[in-house]
Structure 1
Amino acid sequence: MIFQVFFCLFLQLDLTFHLFVCALAGAGAAVIAMVHYLMVLSANWAYVKDACRMQKYEDIKSKEEQELHDIHSTRSKERLNAYT
């Protein structure tokens, strides 16, 4: 009978240790997953921010090119009118 009590107690301690190891591994995996999520989130935020800035730059650049084209075409027309 005493052997049974000690054996059951040993099984409970062994099971407790295994559950502790599983919980520790699960917590470690959760921390790694959260760090990965935050890295992906910050990379996506930087990509979107950069894309927004690039879009603004392209808009300004196209407006300036259009203005230069308009100025050039106006001067060409003025030159043609000056010769006639």
Structure 2
Amino acid sequence: MCETNEKLDMTFHLFVCALAGAGAAVIAMVHYLMVLSANWAYVKDACRMQKYEDIKSKEEQELHDIHSTRSKERLNAYT
């Protein structure tokens, strides 16, 4: 009788350990998915920002070229 009770206690303790381990694994997976989604959002935002900066620099270059062309035309008109 005493031996059965000890086996039951050992089984219960192993069950609690397994349950705690499964809970820790679930928490670790949720943490991993949160970090993964945050990194994905950061990369996606950085890609959009890079496209925006490229378009902005191209537009600024075009405006600079137009301004220099007009300045040259004005100088040529006065001479």
Pairwise same-fold verdict (TM > 0.5)? yes
Identity of aligned residues (%): 96
Is the partner of 1:74 in helix, strand or coil? helix
Q: How far apart are residue 44 of structure 1 and its match?
A: 0.4
Paired with 1:17 and 1:42, the residues of 2 have a C-alpha distance of 38
Q: Which runs of 5+ in 2 are unaligned?
A: none
Q: Give the TM-score normalised by the residue count of structure 2.
A: 0.92
Q: Give the TM-score normalised by the residue count of structure 1.
A: 0.86
> What is the RMSD computed on CA atoms of the aligned residues?
0.9
Structure 1 stretches of 4+ moved >2 Å: none
Q: How far apart are residue 31 of structure 1 and its match?
A: 0.2
1:12-55 per-residue CA deviation (whole Å, 9 max, x = no partner) reads 11110100000000000000000000000000000000100000
Paired with 2:8 and 2:49, the residues of 1 have a C-alpha distance of 61
